[in-house]
Structure 1
Amino acid sequence: MRGRRLPRELWTRAEDVLSGRVEPAPARPAATVAVIRDHDEHGLQVFLLRRVRSMAFAPGAYVFPGGAVDPRDGEASLAWSGPSPAAWGAAFDADETLARELVCAAVRETFEESLVLLAGPSAETVVGDTRGDDWEADRQALLDRSQSLAGFLDRRGLVLRSDLLRPWAHWITPAVEPKRYDTRFFVAAIPAGQRAGDVSTEADRVAWVRPAEAAERGRTGEWLMLPPTVATLSELAAFETVADVLAAPREIIAYEPEAEIVDGEVYLVLPRDIERYYAAR
């Protein structure tokens, strides 16, 4: 059949959800960013983190930086440059408030998990090196929520650069999962002068890797990956340079894989246009 068998520990819950005995968990809005760069030797590369095995969601999986929207991500006081929240809402089929939250979550989570900061002193500039004790203190304050993104940017006199992001995809965690996210995927080039770091306590490994290589490792199971990651990497593998990726037109379709029970076993079934990325091996 067209699908992959789910882990046995999910079977009982899947049966309960599919039968209507248990209501699906709500899907929390979230954002994730595929940070990309041009490498002189290896060509187009993407930044990935491997989640620690103690995480409740996707333990041990290779992922892009990202996470759930924070309640304060929608604060309207921060300086903003680039496409408006309304324009992002049109791209992602979201209302203006949610669109603002998603862009802010994308910028915040990327900085928290990689030190890459999509902001600058003006609408035409971007922060250089973000390493150092003062930047780490700000990162920790964002992590423990003692500081909001708006407060962080305002104190440093920085403008959020939404023009450095591009909309890429929209995935919703299957209804049978106990923890679910409604995630918009972005892509962004790492700003000149910045370096992505191994700073996240939620990850035990980071890597810059060619999208085609990472997608193949995900397809074969060498690297644990969720289908949205494999699909995004497979799509990025079609491009030669960062400029090609950023210039690519995108039609954002919301994908929500479904679970099916076949002969007593539970399978995750992907849309046909996503399944083809697994058939490419």
Structure 2
Amino acid sequence: MMYIPGHITGIVGEMGSGKSFVALLVGFEVAEELHYDVCTNFALDARELYRYFVANGYVWLTSRLLHGGIKVKPVSVGKKVCLENWMDQRRCLYILDEAGIFLNSRRFQQNSPQFLADLAQIRHDGRRLFWISQYSEQVDKQMRELTQSYIYCDCVTRYSKVLASTELVFKNYRLFIAKKFKIYVAKVVDGKLGFKAWFLSNHLALKSWYGCLSSVDRMLFDCYPSLERIEKEPCLVNPFSSPSCQKVTVRDLGSVVPLNSLAS
């Protein structure tokens, strides 16, 4: 049974806990299941996405990648955040990284009243939003009140001399409805430790995932710049058309993985 998070889902966790990784991992699963397009505010690599989608058997997402359904767009225009322009497509999953910057109280108030109305009716418009932040409190109160579910990330990392940074080695994340997540934060994140915390975490969560990374999981790290800052003008990088960022074509990607493998 696949668990589909709420239409607005917060993905939170400490710095380096695998939030962006989990957002894409879960987001692509959801988009494939629901036949949604995907839009992010951080750069993606088209060739690596193609490999990842084929390895997972994501026929819908592979098709949408080839036909322009996987998009990368900036959230802000100059100094102004324009989320109403960013979330302008129906039947699309939007993944917003660094929500503490773009959805904090001061910037959130810059959005039009119509955008708040659109968020309140996000289910009717066939849109979904994953927002990513270290703490839910970094996001405006109105946004938190509209958030239906949370994914708390606590993936295990270790220092890598090759990367000169930490690398993720073990998956550990949980899905909560908003009401249960508040209890989880109060009693587990800020409270109990040890076996009681583990038991309570699994009791409160709708679903828990933990385990070592598979070879396919590791492919996801090549799809996005996990160790880099979010660019002002992020794009869907097509290495075959570098340095420009263009729509991906079958000719571009056909040599990476045989297209007829999708039929098998």
Higher helix share: 2
Q: TM-score, normalising length from structure 1?
A: 0.28
Q: TM-score, normalising length from structure 2?
A: 0.29
